[in-house]
Protein backbone atom coordinates (compact mmCIF):
# COMPACT_ATOMS: atom_id res chain seq x y z
CA UNK A 1 0.00 0.00 0.00
CA UNK A 2 1.20 3.48 -0.86
CA UNK A 3 1.66 5.92 1.98
CA UNK A 4 -0.66 8.92 2.09
CA UNK A 5 1.43 12.06 2.46
CA UNK A 6 0.79 15.77 2.91
CA UNK A 7 3.89 17.96 2.75
CA UNK A 8 3.89 21.65 3.65
CA UNK A 9 6.41 23.73 1.70
CA UNK A 10 6.78 26.94 3.68
CA UNK A 11 9.07 28.49 1.04
CA UNK A 12 10.72 31.72 2.29
CA UNK A 13 8.14 32.42 4.98
CA UNK A 14 8.13 32.56 8.80
CA UNK A 15 10.82 33.70 11.19
CA UNK A 16 12.16 31.04 13.56
CA UNK A 17 9.73 32.02 16.35
CA UNK A 18 6.79 32.11 13.95
CA UNK A 19 7.82 28.77 12.44
CA UNK A 20 8.09 27.06 15.82
CA UNK A 21 4.66 28.35 16.73
CA UNK A 22 3.17 27.08 13.46
CA UNK A 23 4.84 23.69 14.00
CA UNK A 24 3.37 23.51 17.53
CA UNK A 25 -0.10 24.28 16.20
CA UNK A 26 0.20 21.64 13.46
CA UNK A 27 1.48 19.07 15.94
CA UNK A 28 -1.38 19.65 18.36
CA UNK A 29 -4.11 19.44 15.69
CA UNK A 30 -5.91 16.13 15.43
CA UNK A 31 -4.90 14.31 12.27
CA UNK A 32 -4.98 10.71 11.16
CA UNK A 33 -1.81 8.84 12.15
CA UNK A 34 -2.11 7.01 8.81
CA UNK A 35 -1.15 10.18 6.94
CA UNK A 36 2.52 11.17 6.94
CA UNK A 37 2.84 14.92 7.48
CA UNK A 38 6.08 16.44 6.22
CA UNK A 39 7.04 19.98 7.24
CA UNK A 40 9.48 21.74 4.88
CA UNK A 41 10.56 24.96 6.60
CA UNK A 42 13.56 27.13 5.66
CA UNK A 43 17.00 25.61 6.44
CA UNK A 44 17.34 27.82 9.54
CA UNK A 45 14.39 26.09 11.23
CA UNK A 46 15.17 22.47 10.38
CA UNK A 47 16.91 21.27 13.51
CA UNK A 48 14.50 22.97 15.94
CA UNK A 49 11.46 21.51 14.17
CA UNK A 50 13.10 18.10 13.77
CA UNK A 51 13.62 18.12 17.54
CA UNK A 52 9.94 18.89 18.14
CA UNK A 53 8.63 16.07 15.97
CA UNK A 54 11.11 13.37 16.90
CA UNK A 55 8.70 11.34 19.02
CA UNK A 56 5.98 11.38 16.30
CA UNK A 57 6.10 8.64 13.67
CA UNK A 58 3.46 10.40 11.55
CA UNK A 59 5.57 13.57 11.17
CA UNK A 60 8.81 14.27 9.34
CA UNK A 61 10.88 17.26 8.31
CA UNK A 62 12.18 18.14 4.85
CA UNK A 63 14.57 20.72 3.48
CA UNK A 64 13.38 22.68 0.46
CA UNK A 65 16.65 22.09 -1.42
CA UNK A 66 20.24 20.93 -1.02
CA UNK A 67 23.44 21.64 -2.90
CA UNK A 68 24.60 19.32 -5.67
CA UNK A 69 28.17 19.02 -4.36
CA UNK A 70 29.38 17.37 -1.19
CA UNK A 71 31.19 20.26 0.50
CA UNK A 72 33.69 23.01 -0.17
CA UNK A 73 34.06 26.71 -0.86
CA UNK A 74 30.45 27.50 -1.84
CA UNK A 75 29.49 30.43 0.34
CA UNK A 76 25.89 30.38 1.48
CA UNK A 77 25.12 26.86 0.34
CA UNK A 78 23.84 23.87 2.34
CA UNK A 79 24.77 20.27 1.55
CA UNK A 80 22.62 17.15 1.73
CA UNK A 81 24.78 15.82 4.56
CA UNK A 82 24.20 19.02 6.55
CA UNK A 83 20.46 18.71 6.01
CA UNK A 84 20.56 15.11 7.25
CA UNK A 85 22.58 16.16 10.30
CA UNK A 86 19.69 18.37 11.47
CA UNK A 87 17.38 15.39 11.84
CA UNK A 88 15.53 16.03 8.56
CA UNK A 89 14.82 12.88 6.55
CA UNK A 90 13.46 14.37 3.34
CA UNK A 91 14.47 16.98 0.79
CA UNK A 92 12.48 18.67 -1.98
CA UNK A 93 14.42 18.61 -5.25
CA UNK A 94 13.59 20.30 -8.55
CA UNK A 95 10.84 22.63 -7.39
CA UNK A 96 9.79 24.79 -10.34
CA UNK A 97 10.75 27.96 -8.45
CA UNK A 98 14.30 26.66 -8.19
CA UNK A 99 14.34 25.49 -11.80
CA UNK A 100 13.26 29.03 -12.74
CA UNK A 101 15.02 31.36 -10.26
CA UNK A 102 18.15 29.31 -9.58
CA UNK A 103 18.48 27.97 -13.15
CA UNK A 104 18.53 24.38 -11.99
CA UNK A 105 19.04 22.09 -14.98
CA UNK A 106 18.46 18.35 -15.23
CA UNK A 107 22.20 17.86 -14.90
CA UNK A 108 22.24 19.68 -11.53
CA UNK A 109 19.08 17.88 -10.38
CA UNK A 110 20.64 14.50 -11.11
CA UNK A 111 23.60 15.43 -8.91
CA UNK A 112 21.29 16.70 -6.14
CA UNK A 113 19.32 13.46 -6.19
CA UNK A 114 22.50 11.44 -5.93
CA UNK A 115 23.80 13.58 -3.05
CA UNK A 116 20.48 13.37 -1.23
CA UNK A 117 20.31 9.59 -1.53
CA UNK A 118 23.88 9.12 -0.40
CA UNK A 119 23.10 11.27 2.66
CA UNK A 120 20.10 8.93 3.27
CA UNK A 121 17.57 11.67 2.57
CA UNK A 122 14.36 10.76 0.76
CA UNK A 123 13.92 13.04 -2.25
CA UNK A 124 10.57 14.64 -3.07
CA UNK A 125 11.17 15.25 -6.76
CA UNK A 126 9.00 17.90 -8.45
CA UNK A 127 7.91 17.85 -12.07
CA UNK A 128 5.25 19.78 -13.94
CA UNK A 129 4.47 21.48 -17.22
CA UNK A 130 4.31 25.20 -18.06
CA UNK A 131 1.15 26.92 -19.18
CA UNK A 132 2.47 27.02 -22.78
CA UNK A 133 3.02 23.26 -22.76
CA UNK A 134 -0.47 22.69 -21.33
CA UNK A 135 -2.06 24.99 -23.94
CA UNK A 136 -0.11 23.33 -26.75
CA UNK A 137 -1.23 19.93 -25.38
CA UNK A 138 2.43 18.86 -25.13
CA UNK A 139 2.27 18.54 -21.33
CA UNK A 140 2.58 14.77 -21.25
CA UNK A 141 5.70 14.92 -23.43
CA UNK A 142 7.13 17.55 -21.06
CA UNK A 143 6.43 15.32 -18.07
CA UNK A 144 7.95 12.30 -19.81
CA UNK A 145 11.12 14.30 -20.56
CA UNK A 146 11.41 15.52 -16.94
CA UNK A 147 11.11 11.95 -15.67
CA UNK A 148 13.57 10.56 -18.18
CA UNK A 149 16.15 13.34 -17.95
CA UNK A 150 15.96 14.05 -14.21
CA UNK A 151 14.96 10.87 -12.46
CA UNK A 152 15.18 7.71 -14.52
CA UNK A 153 18.96 7.42 -14.08
CA UNK A 154 18.27 6.05 -10.58
CA UNK A 155 18.65 2.37 -9.80
CA UNK A 156 15.43 0.53 -8.88
CA UNK A 157 16.21 0.50 -5.13
CA UNK A 158 16.95 4.25 -5.12
CA UNK A 159 13.99 5.10 -7.31
CA UNK A 160 11.75 3.05 -5.03
CA UNK A 161 12.63 5.34 -2.10
CA UNK A 162 11.63 8.59 -3.81
CA UNK A 163 8.40 10.55 -3.74
CA UNK A 164 7.19 12.39 -6.82
CA UNK A 165 5.26 15.67 -6.76
CA UNK A 166 3.32 16.63 -9.87
CA UNK A 167 3.05 20.42 -9.79
CA UNK A 168 1.77 22.10 -12.93
CA UNK A 169 3.69 25.39 -12.97
CA UNK A 170 0.55 27.31 -13.95
CA UNK A 171 -1.19 26.15 -10.76
CA UNK A 172 1.54 27.08 -8.26
CA UNK A 173 0.62 30.09 -6.17
CA UNK A 174 -1.97 31.21 -8.72
CA UNK A 175 -5.18 30.04 -7.07
CA UNK A 176 -5.88 28.06 -10.26
CA UNK A 177 -5.87 24.38 -9.32
CA UNK A 178 -5.72 21.59 -11.84
CA UNK A 179 -9.11 19.88 -11.95
CA UNK A 180 -9.16 16.43 -10.43
CA UNK A 181 -9.64 15.12 -13.99
CA UNK A 182 -6.52 16.92 -15.24
CA UNK A 183 -4.44 15.94 -12.20
CA UNK A 184 -5.53 12.29 -12.20
CA UNK A 185 -4.77 12.11 -15.94
CA UNK A 186 -1.17 13.17 -15.39
CA UNK A 187 -0.69 11.06 -12.24
CA UNK A 188 -1.91 8.00 -14.14
CA UNK A 189 0.49 8.87 -16.98
CA UNK A 190 3.42 9.22 -14.52
CA UNK A 191 2.62 5.88 -12.89
CA UNK A 192 2.41 4.20 -16.29
CA UNK A 193 5.80 5.63 -17.31
CA UNK A 194 7.27 4.35 -14.03
CA UNK A 195 5.73 0.95 -14.63
CA UNK A 196 7.36 0.79 -18.08
CA UNK A 197 10.76 1.69 -16.67
CA UNK A 198 10.80 0.05 -13.20
CA UNK A 199 7.94 -2.46 -13.24
CA UNK A 200 4.62 -2.88 -11.47
CA UNK A 201 5.77 -3.36 -7.91
CA UNK A 202 7.66 -0.06 -7.81
CA UNK A 203 5.02 1.87 -9.76
CA UNK A 204 2.26 0.56 -7.49
CA UNK A 205 4.15 1.57 -4.35
CA UNK A 206 5.51 5.01 -5.19
CA UNK A 207 3.62 7.98 -3.71
CA UNK A 208 2.76 10.69 -6.25
CA UNK A 209 1.65 13.98 -4.68
CA UNK A 210 -0.27 16.78 -6.35
CA UNK A 211 0.83 20.39 -5.83
CA UNK A 212 -0.44 23.72 -7.10
CA UNK A 213 -3.07 25.77 -5.23
CA UNK A 214 -4.23 22.70 -3.34
CA UNK A 215 -6.23 23.88 -0.33
CA UNK A 216 -8.74 22.83 2.32
CA UNK A 217 -11.61 23.25 -0.18
CA UNK A 218 -10.28 21.20 -3.10
CA UNK A 219 -8.06 18.61 -1.40
CA UNK A 220 -10.82 16.06 -0.85
CA UNK A 221 -11.74 15.82 -4.52
CA UNK A 222 -8.09 15.63 -5.59
CA UNK A 223 -7.11 13.04 -2.96
CA UNK A 224 -10.08 10.85 -3.92
CA UNK A 225 -8.42 10.19 -7.31
CA UNK A 226 -6.94 6.72 -7.72
CA UNK A 227 -3.38 7.87 -8.43
CA UNK A 228 -3.15 10.93 -6.19
CA UNK A 229 -1.54 9.94 -2.90
CA UNK A 230 -1.54 13.33 -1.21
CA UNK A 231 -0.31 16.86 -1.74
CA UNK A 232 2.63 19.24 -1.70
CA UNK A 233 1.10 22.37 -0.23
CA UNK A 234 2.53 25.88 -0.45
CA UNK A 235 0.33 28.83 0.59
CA UNK A 236 -2.22 26.75 2.50
CA UNK A 237 0.51 25.14 4.64
CA UNK A 238 1.20 28.47 6.35
CA UNK A 239 -2.04 28.33 8.36
CA UNK A 240 -2.30 25.42 10.78
CA UNK A 241 -6.09 25.07 10.42
CA UNK A 242 -5.85 24.85 6.62
CA UNK A 243 -2.91 22.44 6.68
CA UNK A 244 -4.62 20.19 9.22
CA UNK A 245 -7.86 20.23 7.22
CA UNK A 246 -5.89 19.13 4.14
CA UNK A 247 -4.28 16.28 6.09
CA UNK A 248 -7.81 15.15 7.01
CA UNK A 249 -9.04 15.19 3.41
CA UNK A 250 -8.42 11.53 2.50
P1 LIG B 1 0.95 26.55 -3.69
O2 LIG B 1 2.45 26.00 -3.84
O3 LIG B 1 0.19 25.52 -2.88
O4 LIG B 1 1.08 27.86 -2.99
O5 LIG B 1 0.39 26.68 -5.07
C6 LIG B 1 2.70 24.64 -4.05
C7 LIG B 1 4.19 24.43 -4.18
O8 LIG B 1 4.87 25.28 -4.75
O9 LIG B 1 4.74 23.42 -3.70
Mutate to test the pocket of ligand 1, among 171, 172, 183 (most ligand atoms within 8 A of CB): 172
**Distance, CA 171 to ligand 1 centroid (Å)?**
8
**Would the pLDDT of 215 be above 90?**
yes
Residue 216 DSSP class: T
In this prediction, residues 162-178 reach a mean pLDDT of 96
Q: Across all residues in the chain, what is the average pLDDT? A: 97
**Distance, CA 166 to ligand 1 centroid (Å)?**
11
Of all protein residues, the one whose alpha carbon is nearest to atom 6 of ligand 1 is 234
Looking at residue 1, its pLDDT comes to 80
In this prediction, residues 228-240 reach a mean pLDDT of 98
* Residue 216 and residue 246 in contact, taking contact as beta carbons nearer than 8 Å: yes
Looking at residue 112, its pLDDT comes to 98
- Alpha helix ranges (H) inside the chain: 16-28, 46-53, 80-85, 96-101, 106-118, 131-135, 139-150, 156-161, 180-198, 200-205, 219-223, 240-247
In this prediction, residues 207-232 reach a mean pLDDT of 98
Catalytic residues: 95, 167
**Would the pLDDT of 32 be above 90?**
no
| Minimum-distance ligand 1 atom for the alpha carbon of 215 | 3
**Distance, CA 232 to ligand 1 centroid (Å)?**
7
Report whether residue 211 contacts ligand 1, using a CB cutoff of 6 Å: yes
The alpha carbon of 240 is separated from its chain's Cα centroid by a whole number of angstroms, namely 18
Most distant CA atoms of the chain, gap in Å: 48
Confidence band for 14, pLDDT divided at 50, 70 and 90 = very high
Tell me the fold of 5-247.
TIM Barrel (3.20.20)
Residues 6+ apart with CB under 8 A from 209: 5, 6, 7, 124, 163, 164, 165, 166, 228, 229, 230, 231, 232
Looking at residue 211, its pLDDT comes to 98
Q: What pLDDT, in 10s, does the model give residues 120-160?
A: 999 999 999 999 999 999 999 999 999 999 999 999 999 99
Looking at residue 30, its pLDDT comes to 80
Looking at residue 31, its pLDDT comes to 85
Report whether residue 119 contacts ligand 1, using a CB cutoff of 6 Å: no
| Minimum-distance ligand 1 atom for the alpha carbon of 235 | 4
Of all protein residues, the one whose alpha carbon is nearest to atom 2 of ligand 1 is 234
Please choose, from the candidates 41, 40, 39, 37, the residue with its C-alpha nearest in 3D space to the C-alpha of residue 57.
37
In this prediction, residues 23-34 reach a mean pLDDT of 92
Q: Please state whether the predicted TM-score (pTM) of the whole model is above 0.75.
A: yes
**Distance, CA 213 to ligand 1 centroid (Å)?**
6
In this prediction, residues 60-89 reach a mean pLDDT of 98
In this prediction, residues 71-93 reach a mean pLDDT of 98
| Minimum-distance ligand 1 atom for the alpha carbon of 126 | 9
In this prediction, residues 221-230 reach a mean pLDDT of 98
Amino acid sequence: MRRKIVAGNWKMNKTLIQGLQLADEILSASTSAEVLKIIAPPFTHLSAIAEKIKSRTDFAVAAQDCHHLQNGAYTGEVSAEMVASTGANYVIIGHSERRLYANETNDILIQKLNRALSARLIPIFCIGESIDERNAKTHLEAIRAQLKDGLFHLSSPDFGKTIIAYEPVWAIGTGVTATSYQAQGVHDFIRTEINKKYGKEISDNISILYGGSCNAQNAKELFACADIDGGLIGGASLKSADFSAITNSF
